[in-house]
Structures are given as C-alpha cells and as structure tokens.
C-alpha cells in the first residue's frame, strides 16, 4: 500500500510516518510539506492508495487540492482540533484523525481502508479498461479518417487544437477537446504524457538522453521529428514507464 503524507512541517510528517509503520510495517510512505510540492509529486509519480493530509495548511486551503485532477484517492485529514470535521466530511473524503495520533484509531483507519480498497480497485480497473480506445477519428484537410492508435507516434496540442503524427509522419487533427481528456482514454503501457504539450508512443521512441537540468530529451523514430522534452517533474515517472513496458 502506497501512502502519501502532506504535512506542514517535516517533524510532523515524521511522526505520522513512524506511527504508520508501527501499525502496518509493509506500507510504502512518502511525504510532502506544501500543497505545491504535493501537486508536483502527484503529477510525476504513480497515484498513492491513501493520503494523510494535515489541516489547516499554511500555503493554501487543503480542500482546494481535493478538486485537483490528480487527487482521486481517499484522504485522512489530520488536525489538532475538530473544527474542520464537518468540512472534511462534506467533501466526502475518507476519514478524520485528531492529534496526538492514537495508534488504535490509526490502525482502525488502515484496516477500514484495506477492506474498502479491494472492491474499489476492481471497479476502477474495469472502468479504466472500458475507457481505453483503440482507434481515433482524425481530419486531414477536408477528409476524416479512422486511425489505429498503434500507428500514431505522438499527439500534441497547438493553437487550441490536438494534432497527431502517424507512422508515415503525416499530420492530422484529432477530434478531441484536450490532451487531458485524450490521455485518460489511452493505454498507459503504450502512451505517456511527456509534458503539457505532448503524449508519446513508446513504440516510436528511437532514443532519449538526460539533460543537465535533469530533464529528459526524447527523439522519435520519424523523419525530421522535433525533440520532445519530458518535464523535470515527469522524469522519474518516464524512467519507470520506459523500464516497465
């Protein structure tokens, strides 16, 4: 089980981390100490199974993160007082824990979560598979074509349109509103969101290299193709993706 701790102060995060390990040793625990750092972490890493979030938070309202696209997992709010209890449960999130942390209460939350997550994972897996598409409608001039995704090297956004390049380096306009919508429908073992502008197909990657600023520069196996920069926050996720698939 992967757990993310979002805590104002590092000592507070360490207390939560140590308490979690006391009640469940196999947990994989990571920590962030600002909401901005948390957003970057969630964007570049695989999604956590459970989040422990300190409230109130010094840089933003923590509830603003709940509406962010990358935050979809259950959350346990941690607070010194119960004044945020109603607001937390109005957001339909997972649970609420008062400081100082009681190990029995914490273990009950972990056990409750384990019973909750298994059917949820099955439902999400079925739902995700149902969303994945194998073809896409795209326009070339005045002509519309149905293209197989396996033949598409990359998608990119420009001038508020979504373009794609196929295996022959032909450019089409995809009938999609934005890259985020499209990314949710693509097989993640084949396609990767390199940055805000590009989604790339693993089967068309000729090579990649690491730049001096820890960004990754990808070269596609298309003639005259532009180099694509994997953003620094996505670099770790890219390395994991390229090695696992």
Residue with tokens 């824990």: 97
Beta sheet of 216-220, edge-to-edge order:
205-210, 216-220, 228-230
Indicate the pTM of the whole model. 0.53
Structural domain containing residue 37: 2-130
The residues facing 138 across adjacent strands are: 145, 174
Q: Over the stretch 139-181, which tens digit does the pLDDT of each residue have?
A: 998 899 999 999 999 999 998 899 999 999 999 999 888 998 8
Residue with tokens 């999609």: 176
Our count of domains for the chain comes to 2
Residues 40 and 91 in one domain: yes
CATH code of the domain in which 227 resides: 2.40.50.1020
Helices (H) and strands (E) in the chain, counts: 6, 15
The dihedrals phi and psi of 56, each to the nearest 5 degrees, come to -75, 165
Residues 65 and 124 in one domain: yes
Residues 195 and 227 in one domain: yes
The CA–CA distances, whole Å, from 220 to 149, 158, 205 equal 16, 19, 5
- Tell me which H or E stretch contains 174: strand 171-174
Portion of the chain with pLDDT greater than 70, in percent: 80
Residues 50 and 115 in one domain: yes
């Amino acid at each position: 089980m992967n757990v993310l701790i979002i805590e104002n102060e590092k000592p507070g995060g360490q207390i939560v981390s140590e308490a979690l390990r006391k009640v469940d040793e196999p947990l994989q625990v990571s920590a962030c100490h600002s909401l901005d750092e948390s957003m970057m972490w969630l964007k570049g890493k695989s999604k956590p199974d459970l989040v422990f979030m300190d409230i109130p938070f010094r840089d933003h309202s923590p509830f603003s993160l709940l509406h962010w696209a990358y935050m979809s997992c259950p959350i346990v709010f941690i607070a010194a007082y119960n004044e945020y209890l109603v607001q937390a449960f109005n957001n339909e999130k997972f649970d609420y824990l008062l400081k100082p942390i009681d190990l029995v209460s914490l273990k009950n939350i972990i056990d409750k979560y384990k019973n909750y997550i298994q059917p949820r994972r099955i439902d999400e897996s079925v739902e995700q598979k149902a969303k994945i598409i194998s073809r896409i409608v795209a326009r070339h001039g005045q002509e519309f074509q149905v293209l197989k995704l396996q033949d598409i090297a990359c998608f990119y956004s420009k001038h508020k349109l979504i373009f794609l390049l196929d295996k022959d380096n032909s450019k089409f306009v995809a009938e999609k509103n934005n890259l985020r919508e499209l990314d949710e429908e693509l097989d993640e073992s084949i396609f990767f969101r390199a940055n805000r502008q590009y989604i790339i197909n693993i089967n068309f990657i000729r090579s990649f290299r690491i730049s001096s600023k820890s960004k990754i520069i990808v070269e596609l196996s298309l003639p005259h193709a532009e180099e694509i920069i994997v953003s620094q926050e996505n670099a770790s996720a890219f390395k994991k993706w390229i090695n696992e698939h």
